[in-house]
Structure 1
Amino acid sequence: MPSFALAFRFAPLAAALALVLISPDAAAASKREQAVAALNARMTAAEKRYRDALVKIGNNDPVGVAESNAALEDMEDAVDACSQQKGCEVTNMVTVYKRLLKTSADAQGQIPDEADDPSDLDPDHAGDIAFSNDVPEAAKAASLLDDKRHRFDKMVQYNPAVQAGIRRWLTDMRPSLMDSYENYQYMRQLMSPSFERAGLPEALLFGIMAKESNGKVHVTSRAGAAGPMQFMYATGLRFGLGQDGTGFDTRYDPHAVADASAAYLNERMGELNRSIEMALAAYNGGEGRALRIYNASEGRGFWDADVYNQFPAETRDYVPMVIAAAWLFLHPKKYGITFPRVESKYAPLRLAKPTSIYELTICLGSGGTRDGFMRALRNLNPRYQPDSYLPAGASLNATAQIVGLYNRHCVQGARAELAKQLVLSDPNSAIVRTGPVETLPPSGGIAPAPLGATPSVAAASKPKNPGKHKVAKNETLVSIAQRYQCDTKSLAKANGLKAPRYALRSGQTLKLQGCRE
């Protein structure tokens, strides 16, 4: 048999022997390299899909958005897998992710220059809002993929108590978790920089806010705690919160309370050996109690039985629930959670005509959201009551989506008129008076329509301002302010009425100061 034929015949055997002789370490290294190469290829493919989707979006192809979202999810999965694969460079992948999102933001164009001018913001918040208009919110979310941002995982215990909290958030409290996330997204750029500057995990901010208020800025507890982070009045004063020069309680201001919460938590953690659990116990159960328990236990942790059992039941529930919400904020996919996508890019809303937050909520519609925009508008503009009329030219803090919907539906047209009609509707005008009963309305009121007649919307929605109004039975200051398109607070001040009751009596004459002519 020729020598080359023998060589050919025994080549497979030689190859097998060579594989056997390869060291286990070399084989493992080769396997790691293949896994890393596969992840890099996966990231490259997802990057190409994302860029192709951007082209489709630019051409108004309806499938572009869905494909871009799918590509982003593939990239997130690749980064997550990379973080668990030895030898894979997570930083490089995150850099690609952020660069692509920045490319998307540049392609969509910037908010006009006036949006960056602090004078265009609500004057009470000028200079306070640190919105980043050059990068979409998704780019900030991408930074959570960095392992450094997951330091929270190593700062707390993932124990059965926390797991029970996760179970509650995922079952009975799931709607509250979703509400909290959605509300937080609108305020994220107001609040998260405070925790970042303080060196605290953003997840901790979310967890506290979810447990305290579900992200509803105007919540007040029976004990007197107020705002999205539920500061007691005395504690708030120590950290710069309370009544400002206009009478507004800044415990309802998201930016101010984020600063105060970060300062409070760092102060507590400085006393309590940088323990998040003990700092949270102080936040809920009282800082004096937490410090006494900590010192008496010679610095033992919250989960030590002697420490844990000295806190009230509310605090023993509070600490794991906050940690559980924070954990879900960082690890949604692991638990099958898809948080709602929120269009939260900031833009100021300049009013073309007098309106209220109630009226805006109606004319804006849902805009693809589940609950519409009332909560977002209230959270971003905590100084304004929802029924107070704001003058034309006033500026509200809003989002680019809200501004677009406002220009489309709220300046003029059928929906704008319907919203105005609904807000100005007076239940008293529905009562039909017959017989000898006096049919004339109180001074300044609107005469009821004859039985069977169709009332004029124009007449009901455009009352004249006679300068004074005589209060009828069951009328409230809010309904009167809506009728004459007044600011409720200005009307109350002009007539010496005190909040929050604004008590009126039948027959009382009000001066319609600041109302529409």
Structure 2
Amino acid sequence: TGRFIDQREDAIFLGPPGTGKSHLAQSIGRAAINQGDKVTYREAHVLLEELAEAAPADGVNGDVPTPDKAELANAVTWDIDVETFNDHSRVQWYLKFFQGRGRERLNIWLNRMPRYEPMIRERLQREGLPGDLVYLALIESGFSNTATSRAKAVGMWQFMKATGKHYGLRVDSWVDERRDPYKATDAAARHLRDLNNRFGSFYLAAAAYNAGSGRVSRGLRRLPGDDDGEGLASDATFFRLYDTKLLRRETKDYVPKLIAAAVIAKEPSRYGFTVTPAEPIPYDSIVVPTMTGLDVIARLADTTLAAVREMNPQYLRLTTPPGRASVVRIPAGRGPTTVAAYAELPANRRVTFVEHVVARGETMGGIARRYRVSQSMLAAANPKVKPSRLRVGQMLIVPTGGGISTSMARRMAAPTAPAGTSTSGYHRVRRGETLSGIADEYGVSQRDLRRWNALGKAGHIQAGQRLRVAPPGRSGATAAAAARTHTVRRGETLTGLAKRYGVSVDALREANGMSPEATLRAGAALKIPG
């Protein structure tokens, strides 16, 4: 009579094979859909398994949506075979896991994805690969460029060092291109292409990406029912391997985890995830001819060091490597002005550094340890100096970009006006800057800044405000050069002040008549040698 349709009741169709149960279920389902109801189909044995697993182990909540083949086929489009294997028990386990204990982590990953998804899909498709393999990066790293595994795989695509180098990625103490989302994606696409050509299956290629092609090949050769490992080029073969002990548990779980993550990522709102729409971050690329500090580039581009670092995670030392040209990404629209400003930058201002005068008995290794930089980094910054022939009084450049805070790096730079302002005695306030920081940068007092800019006692400033940083008639550069004294604050040390002003500790002691045993006193006026 169709009463159970009107009352929206569940129905179970029983009978021997070939009696038309599926056709009858589909017809009744269409009738229910026509009156505005939703219909879910389940095979009886699958339904029984789901009921048996209604409270799965490990605290995973079983009361969550689990789509069937019909829903998947009608809801979204796929270019990997999700519909065939969605009912696999381990895929269902991960679907529940991601909606339970793994929800918070997956939600973070899904909100990172829009920044990179268009770029990754386009690159995969150029290699003849399905764009849905983008979800490999989702389960590998959650689209984190700085992710590092226990096995020391690095970056969004979790390349091991040897594999990354094989596909042309530079990995050394200066640069790790496994952390570069664009170069690493290019390498990953070529790697997956090679694996797919070898195994003839996207899921076997994914398993080999995780475990290594040798392990998967050995598993295929030992697979029961196939003596030579040939004729197994299909996604179903992976699930045959799954039912054996020929793969490690991590690799067995890799493809089910990929499928479950893909199902949720295609329709996050259906599974209760909120993904904020985001566009890929636009950028300009500039080429710097040799070693240049990222803080210097940030100043020239009128942006923050944090922004430049986020766009260039491959640079490990807060500076580009010495002896070669490097590409640096900066916020879109800043390229032409940054290139012009860089062209006017003196070569000795390209890196934030400390000048060290060699004393008797000092070695290159000892100096490197003193400033917490590597000996190779120190040698690279001083190409004309022979480490075995240091001379007393010789000047060394110590690049400190990798070992100091952002604010300290900015203060160590020469006291000149930042990019975007002239040296005529004015400074354009950036977000996050304070009056005390600006005073320190230009070597003037806060009291003078308040007086020259009529700021009042509170000294409130805001981003975009134009401040006078020198008395009328004097440029900012002249004022900074003239004011070379520092009032010592509680907790400051000679070593810290030497790094800040780019001089040696010995030079500070000599300029202030301090003995080797003398210590700093809060409130004391310290002369900074020119």
Q: TM-score range by the shorter chain?
A: 0.3 to 0.5
Give the TM-score normalised by the residue count of structure 1: 0.45
Larger proportion of helix: 1
From the CA coordinates, give the structure whose radius of gyration is larger: 2
